[in-house]
Amino acid sequence: MLAIIGGTGLAQLAGLEEVSGERVSGRWGESYLETGTIAGQPVCFLPRHGHPPAYPPHKINYRANIDALRSFDVTHILAVTAVGSVDPALPVGGIVMPDQIIDYTWGRAHTFFDDEIHHIDYTWPYDEMLRSRLGEIGRRWHEAGTISFTDHGVYGCTQGPRLETAAEIQRMYRDGCHIVGMTAMPEAPLAREADIAYVGLSLIVNAGAGLNDQAVALDEIEAVMQQGMTHLTGMVKEFLATWDYSA
């Protein structure tokens, strides 16, 4: 089964039919998820901040979330995130499909293997097959002028819940980051530990601190998010409609 993980701006998945929601308890804690269908095919949706949204990025139980999806035999995850830009060339409202991550978080429960020695290769954090399929859709939408889509980039993951200082954004730019968010880590590597293919789609909702002369306007973020998530969920629906569920 394929799962969608939604974050800020995507607490519900529009178009999900025959919806059944439940709380799933496991070794790592409790999560809420929904199962349903899109285009007649089974889909799982998990709101990472809880239902209703209650957990800031540094308090999310990422292990419980990924373990809940694993218990439902999820094999592929498409994770949606709202981010800020670090690269000035990336426009607010644009969508980025990152191919790398730099982790700036600390103190998060980040592995299923606290009690044993187990290593995973993490050279390429995101699944290339999923990136290829989503990239085809994104580039087509970009060429049609519907969205601004970039099929690569480095996601810098910060601790939150505060936004970054201008100096932190400058540092991240020097480090090679293109976008900044708060939830890719440890969500993405936990999926790898669980043998679940994982890909991310990130909506840029604000320019990073110091990239212009103004402070980050939180009310403007909300407006960008509402419009941008409409485009992003449209991409997701097209992806789901053509997804090979036997894969």
Task: Render pLDDT for 49-99 as a digit per residue (tens, 0 to 9).
Answer: 999 889 999 999 999 999 999 999 999 999 999 999 999 999 999 999 999
Give CA separation, 74 vs 29, 37, 97, 107, 204, in Å.
18, 14, 21, 27, 27
Among 246, 96, 118, smallest CA distance to 184 is for: 96
Q: Does domain 2-110+122-239 have CATH number 3.40.50.1580?
A: yes
Q: What single-letter DSSP state applies at residue 91? A: P
* pLDDT tens, per residue, the chain with 247 residues: 999 999 877 767 777 888 889 999 999 999 999 999 887 788 999 999 999 889 999 999 999 999 999 999 999 999 999 999 999 999 999 999 999 999 999 999 999 998 889 899 999 999 999 999 999 999 999 999 989 999 999 999 999 999 999 999 999 999 999 999 999 999 999 999 999 999 999 999 999 888 887 766 777 788 888 888 888 888 888 888 887 765 5
Q: What is the pTM of this model?
A: 0.92
Phi, psi angles (nearest 5°) of residue 103: -100, 115
Tokens of 94: 């644009």
Largest CA distance in the chain: 51
Domain ranges of the chain: 2-110+122-239
